[in-house]
Amino acid sequence: MKPKIGFIGVGIMGYHMSQHLMKAGYQVIAYDRIKAATDRIVALGADEGLSSKDVAARSDVVITMLPDSPDVEAVALGPDGIIEAAREGLIYVDMSTIAPGTAIKVAETLGEKGVRCLDAPVSGGEVGAQNAVLSIMAGGAADLLEEVRPILDTMGKTVTLCGPAGAGQTVKACNQIQVALNFVGMAEALVLGAKAGVDPAIIIKVLSGGYAQTRVMDVRGPRAIKGDFEPGFKSAFHYKDLNIIMQTATDLHVPLPATAVAHELFSALMAHGRGDLDHSAVVTILEEMAGVEARTKEE
Amino acid sequence: MKPKIGFIGVGIMGYHMSQHLMKAGYQVIAYDRIKAATDRIVALGADEGLSSKDVAARSDVVITMLPDSPDVEAVALGPDGIIEAAREGLIYVDMSTIAPGTAIKVAETLGEKGVRCLDAPVSGGEVGAQNAVLSIMAGGAADLLEEVRPILDTMGKTVTLCGPAGAGQTVKACNQIQVALNFVGMAEALVLGAKAGVDPAIIIKVLSGGYAQTRVMDVRGPRAIKGDFEPGFKSAFHYKDLNIIMQTATDLHVPLPATAVAHELFSALMAHGRGDLDHSAVVTILEEMAGVEARTKEE
């Protein structure tokens, strides 16, 4: 018999992910602190959870998909949280992107109560969630991952064991460093080129065709130079990830000079109220600094 | 009848490029300020030039492939330089990577003497030169590019007109910004991950398979985490390019905060005597800053 799955946090990402589980035949008990989000999934066939504790009490496997580290800590370890229904045999998979340190703390604390934990953040965004092609980075015991792999496979395309508890979050942090700097690199290239009078479309074309190629340029370059910053992945989320990264780097004593610059540029995006734009919009900050728009004249 | 081609600067890159011209049936007059370099190409069938002026006097099209802006300025405009044999009908193609401002100055000065000029820097490095698959970024008149395109096609795979004089150099600068930041992003990701205890091989695997993918990671990531920094493209050359970029950005008033960090990290590579290593070796500076080695345990 398939395990009963509790799903806590059925916002943009969780909404799609929990549906894939139901389509695959899993019974899902859903809960979100926003009642309308819970209701939306219940209307599609999920059972209604009344709290995180209630969901954990009624499930074999609890999955969370929440905004940030404090949310996960509250849901996992706080009042009415998973910990209040913790028991031998319960499995907890956190798919949020949070601080590696928080993931380790949650796994250790719940582990003492017999709960086996996996951190399993994803990349691929809403489109990846919708199409069940998320890339899942897992941290925890290998045998636990094998046990829950059929569940993760219904939501993702690739599932990689990255190491022990927290390692999934660490690799997600590494991923967000690289993506941020790929976008900042594209932005600085476009702005220098534009100010020197070169059509940004030519820069994208030449760079994409050679050693400078990046997937973010392939996907967002042609849109950025038309001023199209519809997300995609919102700047506010990437800024949150950069906050996690810089805090983690501070804790571990890892100087990240270029990522620190990216963090400040994303802070400027927030200061300008552009958190809802795609993260490629970091180019707008550099454009304003240089007093030039990197927009193509081509159609 | 095919135009006679003068080739000035037959070092690592020019050595391969001039050979492709000879194989394609062009008569080549070669000159290098290092006599042994000239002799090597003469032994392969080129005519020997005695100076830049001599080469220009005996050629229909002069190509230069030189280390830096001052070299091009000296060869083009200095004593015994191309300018002393300048005349209506002469074509000058500079394929070095130099400052866009220098390219514009050379094109204007020689243009007054009737010489038609193209800046045509390349990417692809020694391997690209050897296999005639360079990516060529051209700045100058469109009809001039069409006239010399058969010549460029013998050395490159793609030839793109980027705009008027200097535009080829500008796009090359943009290319080197993006490549530098892709490497710095990879380096900071690897070092954070390594200090958190994750095997760098897992970081490369996960990031390469998703939105964080870059061509430099595909090509150099698996080698970097084994400590293999055999060039490829030498750090010293990328540092030179970053100097050009920062000077150009200063002249144009374009703040490039992340590229400035990359410039300093490459300066550290030079300070440590690592200019002969591949540019992926920028990770070694970040490793030393963090006190950790990002090396895989896998075979």
A192 closest CB neighbour out of B174, B193, B211: B174
Q: Does B168 touch chain A (CB under 8 A)?
A: no
Catalytic site includes residue B172: yes
Q: Which of residues 245-274 of B touch A (CB under 8 A)?
A: 245, 248-249, 252-259, 261-262, 264-265
CB A215 within 8 A of CB B274: no
Q: Tell me how far apart the alpha carbons of residues B12 and B10 are, in angstroms, rounded to a whole number.
A: 7
Q: What is the pLDDT of residue B299?
A: 60
A131 close to B (CB below 8 A): no
Structural contact between residues B199 and B225, judged by C-beta atoms closer than 8 angstroms:
no
Q: How does pLDDT run across B21-57, given as a tens digit for each residue?
A: 999 999 999 999 999 999 999 999 999 999 999 999 9
Q: Would you report the helix, strand and coil content of chain A in percent, each value rounded to 5?
A: 55, 15, 30
Long-range contacts of the stretch A42-45 (C-beta < 8 A, 24+): A44/A19
Across A151-176, b (16+ Cβ under 10 Å) vs e yields bbebbbebbbbbbbbbbbbbbbbbbb
Burial of A130 (0-12, 13-18, 19+ CB in 10 A): middle
Domain segments of chain B: what residues?
Answer: 5-164, 170-290
**Domains A5-164 and A170-290 in one fold:** no
Interchain CB distance below 8 Å, B255 and A190: no
- HSE value, Cβ hemisphere, 13 Å, CA-based, for A285: 29
Which listed CATH number (3.10.580.10, 3.40.50.720, 1.10.10.1800, 3.60.70.12) goes with B5-164?
A: 3.40.50.720
CA distances from B81 to B33, B96, B110, B200 (A): 12, 16, 11, 51
What's the CA gap between A23 and B230, in Å, rounded?
Answer: 51
CATH class held by domain B170-290: mainly alpha
CA-closest candidate to residue B136, choices B154, B152, B116: B152
B197 vs A167: CB contact, 8 Å cut-off?
yes
Per-residue model confidence (pLDDT) at position A1: 85
Per-residue pLDDT of chain A (299 residues; tens, 9 = 90+): 899 999 999 999 999 999 999 999 999 999 999 999 999 999 999 999 999 999 999 999 999 999 999 999 999 999 999 999 999 999 999 999 999 999 999 999 999 999 999 999 999 988 999 999 999 999 999 999 999 999 999 999 999 999 999 999 999 999 999 999 999 999 999 999 999 999 999 999 999 999 999 999 999 999 999 999 999 899 999 999 999 999 999 999 999 999 999 999 999 999 999 999 999 999 999 999 999 999 998 66
Q: How far apart are CA B180 and CA A184, in angstroms?
A: 11
Q: Which residues of B touch A203 (CB under 8 A)?
A: 171, 174
Backbone angles phi, psi at B3, to 5 degrees: -65, 150
Is the CB of residue A175 less than 8 Å from the CB of residue B212?
yes
Task: Assess contact for B40 and B32: CB atoms under 8 A.
Answer: no
- Is the predicted ipTM greater than 0.90, yes or no? yes
Residue A213 has its nearest CB partner, among B215, B249, B286, at B215
CB–CB of B160 and A206 under 8 A? yes
| B268-295: average pLDDT | 98
Residues B120-177 pLDDT 10s: 999 998 899 999 999 999 999 999 999 999 999 999 999 999 999 999 999 999 999 9
Cα B65 to Cα B56: distance, rounded to the nearest angstrom: 14
pLDDT of residue B115: 98
Q: How far apart are CA B115 and CA B107, in angstroms?
A: 8
Distances (CA, A) of B146 to B1, B133, B172: 17, 19, 20
